[in-house]
Structures are given as C-alpha cells and as structure tokens.
Amino acid sequence: MQKRLLDRMSLDAFRVFETAARHMNFSAAARELLVTQAAVSRRIQKLESDLQIPLFHRDGRKLELTAKGDALYRRVQATLDFLSEGLEEVIQDSPPGGVVVAASGAIAHLWLGRRLRSYVLANPDETVRLITTDTRSELTADSNDLTLLYSTGAHPHWSLSLVAEEALIPVAAPSYLARAVPHLVPAEMTAADIAALTLFDYGRMNAYWLSLIDWFEWQGIDPATIRPKVVFPNYPMAVDAALNGEGIMLGSREILVDYLRAGALVELSGQLLITGYGYYVGLPKGRTSTPEALRLWQWLLSAEKS
C-alpha cells in the first residue's frame, strides 16, 4: 500500500510551523518551544521541502505567510485545538459536559431545546450536554444520562416516563389560512377542504412514523389523490414551512405545543389521530443516576404538567 504523504513526515514539524506562524517570528517560536532559532528554521525548511511549497515569504527578518502557508496554518491550528480538547476529555476522571441528554433532531429542535434553556437559566450551576441523533443505538448508548425516545413506553435498558403522547393533526399558520380560505373556520375544515390546499409532507424517520398522507387515508381519502407540494427530508423543515405561512403539514400536537399556544400555528379539522406512540424521557436501568440527572429528569416531567 502506498504511504500517505503525512506518514513520511515528522508531525512535530507541524507544531513548529504553527508556533512560527502564530508569532510570525522564528526567534519567538524558538523561545516558546525551548529550542534554538536555527532548529526552528531547519524544521520549517524541511517541511517546505517535504511539501514542495514555500510556506513563508522572507524579507530579511520580516516573515509573511504565503497563500498556501496561510491555508496550512489555519488547518494545523484547528487540528491542534481539536486534539487538545480531545486529550482533556481522555484524561478527565469523569465525562465532560454535566448531564448528557440524547434526543432526535426533531424533538431537540422543536421541544427539548427550549426546556433545556429554561432549566439552565433556573439552575445556573447545572451543565447539560445535548446530543442530537436519529440513530437508535446512539440514543440508547450507555454514555447518556437521559434519553428521549419515540416509543410505546417499554425498553429493556431504559426506564421510560411519558412526556408527550403522539396526537397528530393538520396545522397551518393563521396568515396562510387568511389568504387561502378566509371563509372557513379552521376547526371545522373537512379533510376534503384541506386536501385542496398547499400541502407539505416529510420523510419517515422510521417505520412507525405517520405522514400527512396517512392522516388523509385515515379520513377515508384515497392517498393516491394527495399530492404534497414538497416532501421534506425531515420533520423540522416541514414545520418551518408551515410557520412561514406557506402551507399545511401534519403536526404532532404535544411537540408543537409552544407554537400552538402562541398562535403561530392553528389546528385544522379537529380530527386527532392517536397513534399509540409517544415521546418518553428515559433513565438507565443498569446504573444509579446522578442527582443532577434526576433533577433534570424531574424537571422535564413536571414542565409538561405545569
């Protein structure tokens, strides 16, 4: 196998280069690195030779990065910063970031994010680290202190408590309805009324998710007759389109509760589709949760009851 260019080079040369470029002075770099100015100069010359590009313009004692030298400097600096952060995590006795909470991108964006901000404002000494992922194995990883799962309420490794039952109903912004159907009362609109308007749908994240087309089929309308204007790759994009007053999407009532309470979205038809699924906050069964994790768990449960 052919070696990579990096395999034939000294990694320390990049550290020397970053220091020299940061100070723009070989003598200052030598003092920081506890070597001679000549050693710094030789390292830089060797690096330029290996890369076959000039890294500095030299005008007497004045240094200036070349265009490629500047690009390399920014990459090396970012790499060293990333490595430094990673080393700090490795050598720490406990995981960084306080309570680690995992949630799917949709619920994190539309529901959980605001509640976590409220929590840390009310508890300034607490630290929360939010991980967003749509991969089931990552949502239930042992490294998480809490998880939010789309579920029927049972999991072999997590003790689940319901925070939001899934109740699906078409929603739209009042501004869109005022333009499109000013003569109709939102709560009294029929499925046929809704089907004639601009519709937005979303791709299913798993086999159990229901879409707007499923809601129409539940209402007795042939799904082959439903033509969404756009099928978005994820749920939040469909929500954003509805919030912008562009059309109608199928909303999960509890996940969109903040927008519904504020009047940014309104429910149409009054026909709630209860799926039997919901969003559950989970504590790990296999270990004792920290007091910090338990406080946040209780906050999330009580926040929905208030």
Which of 48, 74, 91 is the endpoint of a domain? 91
Report the distance separating Cα 22 and Cα 16, nearest Å: 10
Q: What's the domain count of the chain?
A: 2
- pLDDT the model gives residue 164: 86
Which of 43, 59, 91 is the endpoint of a domain? 91
Cβ atoms < 10 Å from Cβ of 278: 20
154's CB contacts (< 8 A; 6+ apart) are 160
- Domain check: are 51 and 85 in the same one? yes
Kindly report, residue by residue over 19-40, the tens digit of the pLDDT.
888 888 888 888 888 888 888 8
- Domain check: are 133 and 74 in the same one? no
- pLDDT the model gives residue 85: 64
- Domain check: are 214 and 286 in the same one? yes
- pLDDT the model gives residue 5: 64
- pLDDT the model gives residue 286: 83
- pLDDT the model gives residue 2: 45
- Domain check: are 118 and 262 in the same one? yes
Report the distance separating Cα 212 and Cα 253, nearest Å: 14
- Domain check: are 276 and 151 in the same one? yes
Provide the residue range defining the domain that includes 13.
Answer: 5-91
- Domain check: are 247 and 150 in the same one? yes
- Domain check: are 228 and 280 in the same one? yes
- Domain check: are 85 and 101 in the same one? no
Q: What is the CATH number of the domain that holds 235?
A: 3.40.190.290
Mean pLDDT of each 10-residue bin along the chain, 306 residues long = 62 88 87 86 89 87 86 85 67 65 90 90 89 85 91 90 92 96 95 96 77 93 92 90 95 92 95 92 91 93 68
- Domain check: are 52 and 102 in the same one? no
- pLDDT the model gives residue 126: 87
- Domain check: are 135 and 176 in the same one? yes
Whether 66 contacts 56, CB under 8 Å: yes
Which of 69, 91, 113 is the endpoint of a domain? 91
- Domain check: are 285 and 168 in the same one? yes
Q: What is the CATH number of the domain that holds 19?
A: 1.10.10.10
Kindly report, residue by residue over 210-245, the tens digit of the pLDDT.
889 999 999 999 989 999 999 988 889 999 999 999
- Domain check: are 169 and 55 in the same one? no
- pLDDT the model gives residue 1: 38
